[in-house]
Amino acid sequence: MRLKIDRLVVLPLILVLLNIESPEGRLQHSETIASYAVIEPHDPVADTFWEYGAESGVLVPPWDWVGGRPSGTVSDSYVATDTTHIRSGTKSMKIYQPPPTKSDGDRRISNRVYNTKDQYYTSWWMYVDGSWDESDIPDNCWTSLGGWISIFEQSNGKSHWTAGRWYYNWNERYIYYKYLWWHESGGSTWPSADATIQTFTTSYDLRDFKGQWVNFQHYVKWSQTTSGATKAWFNGDLIANKSGIITDPRGYSYWDQQGCNFIINSLPWWNHNLYSTTTSPEQTIWIDDVVLSDKKVPETQRVYT
Ligand SMILES: [Ca+2]
């Protein structure tokens, strides 16, 4: 009698254990994660912890935030899932900004992912259309295309941010990656050679990629010592490589001296956007296959259902 009871208890436990150890449960690279898509199983190295391929047809989740920032009315700009241009699956994400002059809200369209790590790679694909051919360009015209960022404020309420971001220079017509520290007027400037702006220019012009998908990838290592770093690749070409820098603002004595605190969280969050000058031209991009990973992402990576 005792033996039978043991079997009744033990056998289901064994079945449960067998189920846990089934091949489906062990395949790390085909697991479904929070963005409702499946990571393509051909990639053996990319330890992805977040991805977006627009296949769910929704924007939030997995993005923590979508829309215009930080003030003003967003009336004409928008972010939406779309079927016009697709790199993988059946959908991509479309971001649109109207012709000038744009409102402050319309010029700041962004998507955010807050739950990142202290070091990670971000890779995404962007489709370029004819809006980037516009030739009537005023001076000092730029568009930010996204990157990692951390925003913090000092005790007097003045804000700061440090970031690694991709831009397009409409006047000189090139893509560039910028490691930067920004300080609101009235705030302290970070008194360190590590905390200065560095721009990595390229000869790549978005007009030359009309009708194509282009790949952006960057890396950040968040550090309070000089072990910090950031890198950036365009279509697999390493165009920025900066190491030996204190990236985390808590690593500077000024953090405590100015009574600083992070806004949102203490990680360098991922921020995708069309953020441009109010005078910049009407512009449209499509985004697909966005991947955040512990390791460098193969340029061929795809995200689909
Ligand atoms: Ca897709």
Rounded alpha-carbon distances, angstroms, from residue 221 to 21, 108, 134, 201: 34, 26, 37, 21
Tokens of residue 117, six digits: 């790590």
User: Is residue 30 assigned to a domain?
Assistant: no
User: Is residue 139 assigned to a domain?
Assistant: yes
pLDDT digits (tens, 9 = 90+) for 82-129: 999 999 999 999 999 999 999 988 999 999 999 899 999 999 999 999
Q: How far is the CA of 58 from the centre of ligand 1 (A)?
A: 12
Pick the range with the lowest mean pLDDT from 79-88, 185-194, 225-234: 185-194
Bridge partners (DSSP) of residue 153 are 159, 261
Cβ atoms of 272 and 149 within 8 Å: the answer is no
pLDDT digits (tens, 9 = 90+) for 254-270: 999 999 999 999 999 99
pLDDT band at 192 (very low <50, low <70, confident <90, very high): confident
Query: Which structural domain, as residue segments, surrounds residue 149?
Result: 42-293
* CB neighbour list of residue 179: distance below 8 Å, 6 or more residues apart: 163, 164, 197, 198, 200, 230, 240, 242, 245
Q: What is the CATH number of the domain that holds 212?
A: 2.60.120.200
Q: How far is the CA of 54 from the centre of ligand 1 (A)?
A: 5
Q: How far is the CA of 215 from the centre of ligand 1 (A)?
A: 14
User: Is residue 276 assigned to a domain?
Assistant: yes
User: Is residue 32 assigned to a domain?
Assistant: no
Collapsed DSSP state (helix, strand, coil) of residue 7: helix
What does pTM read for this prediction?
0.84
Q: How far is the CA of 164 from the centre of ligand 1 (A)?
A: 25
| CA dist., res. 73 & res. 69, Å (int) | 9
Predicted pLDDT of residue 45: 53
User: Is residue 17 assigned to a domain?
Assistant: no
Q: How big is the CA angle at 158 (ends 154 and 164), to the nearest 5 degrees?
A: 85
Q: How far is the CA of 126 from the centre of ligand 1 (A)?
A: 11
Which of 152, 150, 137, 147 lies closest to 274 in space, CA to CA?
147
Q: How far is the CA of 263 from the centre of ligand 1 (A)?
A: 32
User: Is residue 93 assigned to a domain?
Assistant: yes
pLDDT band at 71 (very low <50, low <70, confident <90, very high): low
Predicted pLDDT of residue 300: 87
User: Is residue 56 assigned to a domain?
Assistant: yes
Collapsed DSSP state (helix, strand, coil) of residue 51: strand
Tokens of residue 273, six digits: 């956007």
* CB neighbour list of residue 155: distance below 8 Å, 6 or more residues apart: 258, 259, 260
Q: How far is the CA of 131 from the centre of ligand 1 (A)?
A: 22
Task: Burial-class residue 131 by CB neighbours within 10 Å (0-12, 13-18, 19+).
Answer: middle
Cβ atoms of 120 and 153 within 8 Å: the answer is no
Which of 169, 184, 181 lies closest to 138 in space, CA to CA?
169
Domain count, the chain: 1
| CA dist., res. 163 & res. 161, Å (int) | 7
User: Is residue 20 assigned to a domain?
Assistant: no
Neighbours of 122 (CB within 10 A): 26
